[in-house]
């Protein structure tokens, strides 16, 4: 049940914040918004205000923002198709940008209350720590006789150390001493371990949160683009791609481990949606943006009918890809 509820909330937030981006930028630029809907399916409630129908629908699986002149020619001066290319570009890109903004704010919040603990969460194979016998779950309490308060002090001690490290740790409530010889990677001494992240309001530090939020946001975004590059070049197959079923499974796992991990996953999914939506593929916002950029460069607009056909082909191909990935995820469950 927790997986279902968490998944509904996550998908609802991710899609609504995306559609709200289109909505608010359209409104700010005088574009007619015909409907802004929370949920899909039959209407439960609706109210019209300033020419926009606001509706609540039965199925809580997202929502949509319907703009006048978005997919068809329209004579109204306030329809999207009659706006300047720059205004149309802003409206189209606003959804993905809003996903990035939400992800960034969530990461700042999380990093503001985060603290790297001294408990080992993972050990890299064939690393100095692995060879020395350090295991996940070990709590490192001192290095070369220096008592440790947190994981950041621990990492700093490793980087600044000289020669072998005499590590004292607690395993199964018993003290244990291990000698480790760090290796040099990019001029930084490392032993090959990851540490658990703890989240507590007592750790609140907005400056630290802002700095770590930026670096985490950039690292996650960079990893996604690197992943896409490996997919395009054939270095990775579809086995590394997850569809809706795989995402639901990950949401369920995160929900069981705490609110902080669920919020981190929400940020990561928002970055995913933002990056994916900006790909120059027909039917996606990135594909629509390409048509607008071509118009801005050559000064001639491609007919909406021709563009619509191209987006239709792109949508069919995307739905086919999603179907293949979903089948793969379902097979993994058994």
DSSP code string of 149-204: SSHHHHHHHHHH--S-EEEEEEETTEEEEEEE--EEETTEEE--EEEEEEE-GGG-
Angle at 283 between CA 301 and CA 314, to 5 degrees: 105
Angle at 75 between CA 73 and CA 78, to 5 degrees: 100
Q: Does the annotation mark 48 as catalytic?
A: no
Which residue in the list 19, 68, 70, 168 is annotated as catalytic? 19
DSSP-derived letter for residue 81 is G
Residues 6 or more apart whose Cβ sits within 8 Å of residue 297: none
d(CA 206, CA 278): 30
CA 107 to chain centre: 10
Contact yes or no for 200/111 (Cβ under 8 A): no
Residues 6 or more apart whose Cβ sits within 8 Å of residue 112: 203, 204, 205, 206, 208, 209, 210, 213
d(CA 105, CA 214): 10
Residues annotated as catalytic are 19
């Amino acid at each position: 049940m927790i997986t279902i509820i968490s998944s509904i909330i996550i998908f609802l937030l991710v899609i609504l914040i995306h559609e709200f981006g289109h909505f608010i930028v359209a409104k700010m630029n005088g574009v007619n918004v015909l409907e802004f809907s929370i949920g899909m399916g039959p209407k439960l409630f609706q109210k019209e205000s300033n020419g926009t129908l606001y509706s609540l629908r039965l199925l809580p699986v997202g929502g949509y923002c319907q703009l006048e002149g978005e997919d068809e020619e329209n004579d109204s001066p306030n329809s999207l198709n009659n706006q300047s290319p720059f205004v149309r570009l802003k409206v189209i890109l606003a959804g993905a940008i809003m996903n990035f903004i939400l992800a960034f704010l969530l990461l700042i919040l999380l990093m503001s209350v985060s603290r790297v603990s001294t408990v080992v969460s993972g050990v890299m194979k064939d690393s100095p720590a692995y060879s020395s016998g350090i295991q996940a779950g070990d709590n490192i309490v001192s290095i070369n006789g220096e008592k440790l308060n947190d994981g950041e002090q621990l990492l700093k001690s490793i980087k600044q150390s000289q020669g072998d490290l005499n590590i004292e740790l607690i395993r199964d409530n018993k003290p244990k001493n291990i000698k480790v010889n760090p290796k040099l990677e990019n001029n930084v001494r490392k032993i090959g371990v990851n540490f658990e992240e703890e989240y507590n309001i007592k750790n609140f530090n907005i400056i630290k949160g802002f700095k770590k939020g930026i670096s985490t946001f950039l690292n996650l975004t960079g990893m996604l683009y690197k992943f896409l590059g490996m997919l395009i070049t054939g270095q990775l197959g579809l086995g590394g791609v997850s569809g809706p079923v795989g995402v639901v499974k990950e949401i369920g796992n995160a929900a069981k481990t705490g609110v902080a991990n669920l919020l981190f996953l929400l940020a990561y999914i928002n970055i995913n949606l933002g990056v994916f939506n900006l790909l120059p593929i027909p039917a996606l916002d990135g594909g629509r943006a390409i048509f607008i950029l071509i118009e801005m460069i050559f000064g001639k607009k491609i007919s909406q009918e021709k563009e619509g056909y191209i987006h239709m082909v792109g949508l069919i191909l995307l739905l086919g890809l999603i179907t293949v990935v979903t089948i793969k995820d379902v097979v993994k469950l058994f």
